[in-house]
Amino acid sequence: MVSKRFHRGPLSLVFHSLLQLLLITLTRCVQSVAAQKSQRTHLIRVISRERWKPRRDSGPRRARSCLRMISNGSFRVSRATNSAQSLRKDAPVTSEVSEERAKSKFKPGFNVKPNVSAQTLIERYKQGATHAVTLLYQLNQILPFNLELKETVTSDNIPGSYFAFCAVIDGVKYKTGMGITKKEARLKAAELALQDFLPSLESLKCSLPELSGVPPPLPVKEEVPTSDTRPFRAFCDGKNSVNQQLIHAVRDKLTKLMSSQEFSACSGTTAAFIMQTSSGFEVVALGTGDCNTKESASSSGRLVHDSHAVVTARRSLMRFLYRHLLMFYSKTTNLTKKSIFHQNSNSNLLALKSDIILHLYVNQLPKGAARMPSMLRLSPFSMHAWEVRNDMGLHLSMEGKIISVFSSRIDDSASKLISMSTTDKITQWQVLGYQGALLSHFIEPVYVQSILIGDSSCSQTRGMEIAIIQRVEDITPQLPMFFCMIRPRISLVPSVAPDIIGSSPWTCSINWSEGDCSLEVVDSLEGRTIEDCLLSLIMPSSPFKSGPALASRLCKAAMLHRFRLVAKEAQRQDLLSTSSYREAKNMAKPYQEGKKKLRTYLSQCGFGSWLAKPAVSDNFSM
């Protein structure tokens, strides 16, 4: 047989090639559609997850970006351009439907500004339609205040495992909320904060901005009132008004106390604590001074070693707190009501009444890290990186000079009395409280919510903010119960007294607290009050003298005496049995634990080691 052989012509070859090309194209189209569907499903899942993440920067922005990429078909996994174009052309409705569904399911995070007024949000919360945490963050978007929900530590005497959180609004720390889960603790902290925060907002109803869905019309001929174009101005001006009232209170008290010409020359270094209540502003403690004693550490506790203005004012504040503790523990009902303290239902400690806020005014920028150069930049690869460490680190006050803890000069001064700089002490007080160890036996930590700087030569607060806030910003979770790093609002304000270098030849320090009949003048170099002698021809003699030893009412022995008086009135036999000043301080376990945590934290962060006090300075008894 003869087999027939079929010969393919040119047309058959072309047809066969087109058929193979068509099959390859169809295969790639199917793969492309499958990949598009898989990626679209994954993106919808990402969007659904992102709506539960209230990230201020990435959440909603990433979700909106994903939606745009889905709608414009920018996800391509093959080179089949024609197939991708046909897919977009054939499914425009599906993309719109997917986008609309995603938008309908997506809920904006906390950084999306509500389109309703603050009053409406508060009413919804009172009706139970809004979560407490949600309300706080929504109000934070409408009203100009700083909000933080910080985790803290529960006390050791609470059974079981609990989480603890507290809300910090504009530096004001509110009550701590606890729960079995972090979510429950945040909710409780938000509810406790709103209990105190909402009444203050309701008192500013006229300042709460009213929002509308449409933008205000542009002015053509008539000038629109300022209240219409800037709804937040009244609220923001409230802080400026508070600062002005604080300055007036300090200036009036300073004028009254230092009416005599001999005292007025000391006012350039003034520091004062102001108490704000519903009835107004009142200066409760005041101090001046600018140096340390030249004497060695005292073993009797009757010398004042550090007479810088802020330190003097703080010890005067402690005297004010002791006075009100005696009023609270007195048997007289009228005095108990006048006390600034009330019993905290969550602990055995007393706390400041809810309407009391403390502020600190300083007429000079505190010495130390707060005075770091304004142009300083954190550049670890810089040839001058050591300058950054020296400027940001801890500082010491020695012989009228401020030196870094990294300085080699410290080794040559073992016999000299050295103290930490004023800035570093304020940093510690903003973490552990201004009450100190002894008062921690009776009261919760006492913090200031704002620091006003009246230094006319100071043009910025960057150094103060780095030193007081940023160096210890993340320490709160490590602290014991009731302790929390408080971010004070730092402001530059006009000076209440002229600060002219060299205007006063005296090295004296003046102190006063609310309830005192007269000022006390202390010779800063000697650490004692000034008596009526030849020295009074050079420096003013002290109107107040405690006794022939001329021990200041701010010395450690005087503080221990007040501590024992309060312990007796509070019927604390465990405290009355202490044998020395050091033992009484060490018995304040939570405070000592917090102090240890703070100093370890500063050292680990590279800011240096806190200088330990000479043991002899606290080993005395009454």
In terms of Cβ atoms closer than 10 Å to its own Cβ (0-12, 13-18, 19+), residue 304 is: buried
User: Does residue 287 sit within a domain?
Assistant: yes
Q: DSSP letters along 534-559, please?
A: GGGGTSPPPS---STT---TTSHHHH
Same domain as 524, residue 436: yes
Q: Classify residue 292 by its DSSP letter.
A: B
Neighbours of 107 (CB within 10 A): 11
At residue 158, the pLDDT reads 55
Q: Which of 157, 176, 202 is the last residue of a domain?
A: 202
Residues 387 and 484 in one domain: yes
Mean pLDDT per 10-residue run, the chain (622 residues)? 50 76 80 62 43 43 48 42 41 42 40 70 85 86 80 58 80 80 87 83 52 41 38 50 92 85 77 94 95 81 91 97 96 91 87 94 93 60 58 86 82 68 96 96 95 88 90 90 90 82 66 92 88 52 68 93 95 93 95 96 92 82 76
Do 139 and 283 sit in the same domain of this protein?
Answer: no
174 and 264 fall within a common domain? no
Number of domains composing the chain:
2
Cβ contact 389:406 at 8 Å: yes
Instruction: Enumerate the β-bridge partners of residue 271.
Output: 287, 362
In a domain, 395, yes or no: yes
Residue 358, CB-side half-sphere exposure with 13 Å CA sphere = 25
Helix (H) or strand (E) holding 342: strand 341-343
* pLDDT score at 543: 67
Kind and range of the H or E element at 175?
Answer: strand 172-179
266 and 135 in a common domain: no
Does the predicted model carry a pTM greater than 0.75?
A: no
Buried b (16+ CB within 10 A) or exposed e, 553-582: bbbbbbbbebbbebbeebebeebeebeebb
Q: Which of 136, 169, 202 is the last residue of a domain?
A: 202
Sole residue written with tokens 């509110």: 174
pLDDT value at residue 16: 75
Please give the pLDDT value at position 499.
60
Q: Are residues 463 and 566 in the same domain?
A: yes
Q: What is the pLDDT of residue 322?
A: 97
What does residue 272 show for φ and ψ, rounded to 5 degrees?
Answer: -145, 145
189 and 267 in one domain?
no
79 part of a folded domain: no
Q: What is the pLDDT of residue 152?
A: 76
Q: How confident is the model at residue 235, as a pLDDT?
A: 42
Question: At 152, which CATH number?
Answer: 3.30.160.20
Q: Classify residue 7: in a domain, yes or no.
A: no
Helix and strand numbers (H, E) in the chain are 20, 16
Beta strand 450-453 pairing with 489-492:
parallel
Structural domain contains residue 552: yes
Range of the domain at 151: 118-202
Are 145 and 289 within one domain? no
Residue 20 lies in a domain: no
Residue 389 domain-assigned? yes
Q: Which two tokens stand for residue 42?
A: 């994954």
307 and 443 share a domain? yes
Dihedral over alpha carbons 241, 429, 168, 445 (to 10 degrees): -110
- Do residues 452 and 535 both lie within one domain? yes
Q: Which of 177, 202, 227 is the last residue of a domain?
A: 202
Q: What is the pLDDT of residue 106?
A: 36
Domain-embedded: residue 528: yes
Same domain flag for 404 and 506:
yes
Q: Find, among 526, 533, 529, the residue nearest to 518 by Cα.
A: 529
Residue 17 is which amino acid? S
